[in-house]
Amino acid sequence: MQFGIIGSGSWATALAKILTDNGNTIHWWVRNTDTISYIEKRKHNPHYLSSTYFDLSQLHVTNDLKAVVAQSDALVVAVPSAYVEEVLGKLPAAALRGKKIISAVKGILPAGNQLLNEYLATHYGVVLTDYFTVLGPCHAEEVAAEKLSYLTFSGIDETTTSVIASHFKTEYLNTVVNTDILGVQYAAVLKNIYALGAGIAHGLEYGDNFLSVYIANGANEMVSFLRQLGADAETSHNYAASVYLGDLLVTCYSLYSRNRTFGNMIGKGYSVKSAQLELNMVAEGYNAAKCIHTINQSVKADMPIADTVYEILWNHLPAAEGFKKIETFLV
């Protein structure tokens, strides 16, 4: 199976390392020609996970997206959700048909409040049987350091999903398979909102005791949304599994979490714009807060934490006032 990777950020670079460490040759779309030249000369990404070196015989790096798509059987989409439409919009409508699409996107496409599979079905005719997700808990920095991590692959057909997952399994990376394509994607979106809120709490100098209660309530809120949405209408899923609760925990607690870092700055008094400039990376929880707020108008799940984080980020509710409000309904 020929793999293509679309994106060159930290997560895309980590996935490139995983695939090549497992003996795969990859076709890698990188937007910037200077970055391509650097990788070809110095064997590593100058901007992300720069300690990760590649065997150049396993890389075909190019900024020609159509070539990457044409040469790949399976495409890993690993760009921030806000830029997916800009990147994929360069492709003709039939370009992705028959390809296996593996989403490493951890957000909702904000223009239409769509998951990636919904966007691909509408614009490229990608059927759900050709769509898979790869989600954490898994920080790119720990992959680079080869610390044991777990990835969950989701797809309708468990056999095909297992075959795809096998290409990513290494000595430092274990793989898990499930069939909850909708649920795992929304869980990944929601955990970023709660992690951003956890960062705000830290910036406001709440302690570990409060944070543990906050995260427990966030986990309950997430499960309530998934059930109300109908994500587990056909199968009863274990929401304490790593791709749900585990990813929520690590994103809320880890110093590698960009959403937690972004929220910490908000809690310390940064404006959203200043925090974005300081972080210099995409915190998916920011746009996700607005998208989920909109989607929940029809889902109608009880989501007071997510609603309050949305009010802080998008409606200028002071962070301290928002968390005083959160204090009153945590149990």
**CB contact at 8 A, 39 and 110:** no
Of 99, 191, 273, 290, the active-site residue reads: 191
**CB contact at 8 A, 242 and 137:** yes
**CB contact at 8 A, 74 and 3:** yes
Beta-strand runs (E) in 163-270:
173-178
Q: Residue 267: which residues within 8 A CB-CB, separation 6 or more?
A: 199, 200, 201, 202, 203, 204, 319
Strand arrangement of the beta sheet that strand 173-178 belongs to: 59-62, 26-29, 3-6, 74-77, 100-103, 131-135, 149-154, 173-178
**CB contact at 8 A, 301 and 312:** no
- Furthest C-alpha separation in the chain: 58
Residue closest to 78 by CA, chosen among 175, 149, 168, 173: 168
Residue closest to 130 by CA, chosen among 109, 155, 163: 155
Judged by DSSP in three states, 80 sits in coil
Annotated catalytic residue 191: yes
User: What does DSSP assign to residue 82?
Assistant: G
By annotation, the residues acting in catalysis are 191
